[in-house]
Chains A and B, each alone.
Chain A
Amino acid sequence: MSDTTALSEPTPVTEPVEDRVEDAEKGIKPRRRSGGNVADMTLTVKVKRFNPDTDERPRWDEFEVPAEAMDRALDLLHYVKWHLDGTLTFRKSCAHGICGSDAMKINGENQLACSILVQDLGLTDGDTVTFEPLPAAPVVKDLVVDQSRFFDKYRAVMPWLINDEAVPVTERIQSPEQHAVIEDATKCIMCGACTHSCPSTWADPDYLGPAAMLKAYRYVFDSRDTEPEERLKVVDSKDGLWKCYTIFNCVQACPKGIDITRWLSALKRKSVTTRY
């Protein structure tokens, strides 16, 4: 690129550094975010805080956070952590709805903080938005829950392909029709929003829950899998399928829009028709 075609000077969208330093000295909190746009509303962010090492019970902290309609709920938490209170603890990784790290209870609904926008939450200037950890899981700190039990249940259904036939030279072929049966279920990102929204899980911590049993469905109905019986034995138990009362909280919570109840029903039918 020749220097005669140099790009024009980018329009400065953030305030000059000197201003920010001056503001910081005066104790004025930043009104602009890293993206550089001026926030067009101020939200009250209420976060349920809890540190099991020092606190007897959870408490609610309130923060005033500048925001705009296209901000993600996660951006509000980032603002708090970066500018207001660095001790706020939450889990996030990719921040784009793929890794499933930041499922939490936002305004009373389990959802992914990175996949829900301020406008999706119907928030306008002066509104309050609440953040709580996922229900029915031990809190590690603030919005971070201990997921060990969740992943124990996941492992219990043997979430891997079982096929003892000779390994083919190329991949094991699956037709588009065969894949269509399990496609919806393969979209699961293991965020836990569903399992922690399920009243059966709230009442019985040992209940396998929608996420684990959706995985069971995904492999039982996989045309390449040769061992559906073993998995059916796991889900067709007192802590399995029959505690699904078709409440549909899991479907409502799923950030990937998976019709979990539909696939668990299919698993129920499969279990009844093959095991009895």
Chain B
Amino acid sequence: MRVGMFAWILHRLTGLALVGYLVVHIWGLKAITNPDAYNALITSYHAPIFKVGEFLLLGAVVYHALNGLRIVLIDFMGWSPNQRKLFWTLGAVAAVLFVVGGYPSIAALVDYFNS
């Protein structure tokens, strides 16, 4: 399996997604000058679609950060011979962080649809 190429494509896609997110995020923050608009914005963030978004955002951040660490170890520490093991090890760490960190978003979603 082309682990390295898969890691790179996912890194590029999550990177682009995070740039897109950052634009939306900063744009949303301009409401901070008006208390009513700000409260309305924050309330709108409790909608289920944003809970799904939070979950995906966490996934993108966790993957991008840990694969970034993998690239740093490869380029700065010369760990290239271990790149596959690195990918799967850091992938496991990412999965744990994703599940633990994503639990509140999922729980909020479940609550929303139960009530």
Contact = CB atoms under 8 A, between A and B. Distances in A.
Listed from nearest, the 7 A-B pairs whose CB atoms lie closest are A248-B4, A262-B80, A247-B8, A261-B80, A265-B75, A247-B4, A246-B74
Given A199-B8, A259-B81, A265-B80, A249 B2 contact: yes
A268 B75 contact: yes
Nearest to A260: B80
Interface residues of A, number: 15
B5 interface: yes
A266 interface: yes
A246 B5 CA distance: 8
A201 B76 CA distance: 23
Contacts of A269: 75-76, 78
A265 B74 contact: yes
19 contacts: A245-B8, A246-B71, A246-B74, A246-B75, A247-B4, A247-B5, A248-B3, A248-B4, A248-B5, A251-B4, A251-B80, A252-B2, A261-B83, A262-B80, A265-B74, A265-B75, A265-B76, A265-B78, A269-B78
Given A261-B74, A265-B74, A265-B75, A249 B80 contact: no
A246 B78 contact: no
Nearest to B84: A248
Given A246-B8, A252-B2, 7 more contacts: A199-B5, A245-B71, A246-B75, A247-B4, A248-B2, A261-B4, A269-B75
Nearest to A245: B8
Contact of A246 (B2, B4, B81): B4
